[in-house]
Amino acid sequence: MSLAVAGSGAFGTALAVALGRTGAAVTLWSRDPDQARVMVETGRNDRRLPGVDLPDTVTPTGDAGALATSKTVLLAMPMQSLAGFLDAHGSTLDGRALVACCKGIDLTRLEGASALIARACPAAVPAVLTGPSFAADIAKGLPTALTLACADEAAGARLQAQLSTPILRLYRSPDVIGAELGGALKNVIAIAAGVVIGARLGESARAALITRGFAEMQRLALRLGARTETLAGLSGFGDLVLTCTSEQSRNFRFGIALGQGTAFDTSVTVEGAATARAATALAQSLSIDMPITGMVAALLDQRIGIRAAVEALMSRPLKQE
């Protein structure tokens, strides 16, 4: 069965490479026709994933209509681009299995990927692919385990079999809300962890922040219907640990720059920035206490400085853990 990946960034390209190596025919769509042309000519996507050859089974294209030839489409564009993509192409893709591979909360609608898919494509099967992973590791063929969340368990089982590879192990879950919120909120905490390291506050402070950040993630996710075990799994705690401890994480690197007061490459997508603002608004509407998330949003909007942010967090009322 053929597959399609919508989005030729590092992660989308890595997924296309991993799936293509199994012999599956994969269409890799780029919104930039010039980038698609370069991939066709060179057999690589050095702009986003340097040094990795595309298997012969992967067909790059700049034609979004080519996505409709596949019954399973992986949506691997940035979260803040997903709604616009679905508005433009949802009618063509309706009725297919649409697997969101982006991590975040839509800043305008305060919703996750599955809700956006359901609205634009009511006959589609929404699913979420998320968990602790870096594009470079997947492209190198290094072992990776992810969560595939789909409310339709029969469809989820089919997708699990279709998208698993010898190096990409997928664990199935019916908890779509928990999986997508775990993947979204951990990016916010990763920015905060980067700030801690960038500001030279120490490893002990980072450990404390990760722990309290995880508590925040659970408060919001559980209120919205997620399951505790999902947040404790790959798509929650597992992804949180990876993203808060490795400089391969764009969100963590962004946080380091923020903590150091240095410039960060504006061409690099940092999903946690928009998610911090969206999650703060969502938490306020639900009267949920998320001090770290709110502090990240305040830092991003320059409503508070690093020193004041640390003092505010450390001066919060003492309470039982």
Residues labelled catalytic: 186
DSSP class of 270: -
Spatial separation of the C-alpha atoms in residues 194 and 257, rounded to whole Å: 8
Structure tokens at 213: 């950040």
Q: Where are the alpha helices (DSSP H) in the chain?
A: 10-20, 33-42, 79-93, 113-120, 135-139, 153-163, 176-198, 203-223, 228-231, 239-245, 250-260, 271-285, 291-300, 306-314
Closest CA to 191 of 304, 116, 294, 311: 294
248 φ/ψ angles, rounded to the nearest 5 degrees = -70, -20
Closest CA to 30 of 16, 51, 50, 19: 16
DSSP string, 192-245: HHHHHHHTT--HHHHHHHHHHHHHHHHHHHHHTT--HHHHTSIIIIIHHHHHHH
Max CA-CA distance within the chain? 61
Closest CA to 191 of 108, 102, 292, 281: 292
CB contact set of 266 (below 8 Å; sequence gap of 6+): none
Spatial separation of the C-alpha atoms in residues 206 and 217, rounded to whole Å: 16
The amino acid sitting at 292 is I
**Tokens 């928009």, residue located:** 274
